[in-house]
Amino acid sequence: DDAYLITHALAKDTLLRLRDVETEQVAFRKGLVKLGRICGYEIIDGVMETEYVTVQTPLTETTGERVKGLDDVVIINVLRAATPFVEGLLKAFPRAKQGVISAGRDEDAGMDEEGEFPITVDYVKLPEITEKDTVIVADPMLATGSTMCAVLDHVLESTDADPADLFVLSAVSAPDGLLRVGDQFSEADLLTVSIDDHLDDDGYIVPGLGDAGDRAFR
């Protein structure tokens, strides 16, 4: 259960614009798409292996590198804020299989003493996951980690296989969420563009970027 920062300069630049309260709906949604694409490229560059293959150019035969495992990627979209983020990831992994989970915090119930929210899971549709797969569970926000823990329970219960890699990918994370998910799911590697300072009393990430779902969808 390692945690890695995605440090690409364009990821930071894009996140800065997402944080900006002046960024309106269309720019916000496009920013999430762009950030998803950059994160996808960073996952490929950071963890996926390449192999040397020969290729026939119009002039001669030569050797190049091919990324291995691009056909064995599963992306889990945690509705709803992850939808534009996943759209970007799919530009990096066009042949990925996709799963969809609708999971949300019961904001009326509020955060309990442990700093967790009750999570309502309404819809789960997952592809088959095999031991060859790189699984990426994407949600732009990792706050208390309650949503992600509920999602990972469903993902891991859905298969007997241990996927080759299991990544939890977020744009902005709170320390609490990283610790909770890391503690409960030692098999997951946590990837994020930023570890923010803290959660406020309502469980919002500070400084954060507000409610990503609301900002992208309305």
- How far is residue 216's CA from residue 75's CA, in Å, rounded to a whole number? 20
Q: According to the binding rule CB under 6 A, does residue 194 interact with ligand PRP? A: no
Residue 69 or residue 208: which is nearer to ligand PRP going by CB? 208
Q: According to the binding rule CB under 6 A, does residue 177 interact with ligand PRP? A: yes
- Considering only residues 14, 134, 144, 194, which one is a binding residue for ligand PRP as defined by CB under 6 A? 144
Q: Which stretch binds ligand PRP (CB under 6 A): 4-12, 76-84, 152-160, 186-194?
A: 76-84
Q: Which stretch binds ligand PRP (CB under 6 A): 17-25, 28-36, 79-87, 88-96?
A: 79-87
DSSP 3-state assignment of 126? coil
Q: According to the binding rule CB under 6 A, does residue 155 interact with ligand PRP? A: no
In whole angstroms, how close is the CB of 86 to ligand PRP at the nearest point? 12
Per the structure block, which two tokens stand in for 158?
């859905």
Q: Which stretch binds ligand PRP (CB under 6 A): 12-20, 129-137, 138-146, 159-167?
A: 138-146
Alpha helices in 96-200 (DSSP H): 146-157, 175-184
- How far is residue 64's CA from residue 66's CA, in Å, rounded to a whole number? 7
What are the CA-CA distances from residue 47 to residues 109, 135, 139 (Å)?
39, 12, 20
Residue 72 or residue 156: which is nearer to ligand PRP going by CB? 156
In whole angstroms, how close is the CB of 4 to ligand PRP at the nearest point? 18
Q: According to the binding rule CB under 6 A, does residue 23 interact with ligand PRP? A: no
Q: According to the binding rule CB under 6 A, does residue 18 interact with ligand PRP? A: no
- List the interface residues with ligand PRP, window 32-71 (CB under 6 A): none
In whole angstroms, how close is the CB of 85 to ligand PRP at the nearest point? 9
- How far is residue 157's CA from residue 173's CA, in Å, rounded to a whole number? 25
Look-up of token digits 């990918």: 169
CA-wise closest residue to 193 among 66, 65, 3, 58: 3
In whole angstroms, how close is the CB of 147 to ligand PRP at the nearest point? 3
- How far is residue 146's CA from residue 193's CA, in Å, rounded to a whole number? 19
Q: According to the binding rule CB under 6 A, does residue 81 interact with ligand PRP? A: yes
Q: According to the binding rule CB under 6 A, does residue 145 interact with ligand PRP? A: yes
Question: What is the 3-state secondary structure of 20-33?
Answer: CCCCCHHHHHHHHH
Burial of 86 (0-12, 13-18, 19+ CB in 10 A): buried
Q: Site residues (CB under 6 A) for ligand PRP?
A: 78-81, 104-105, 117, 139, 141-148, 177, 203, 211-213
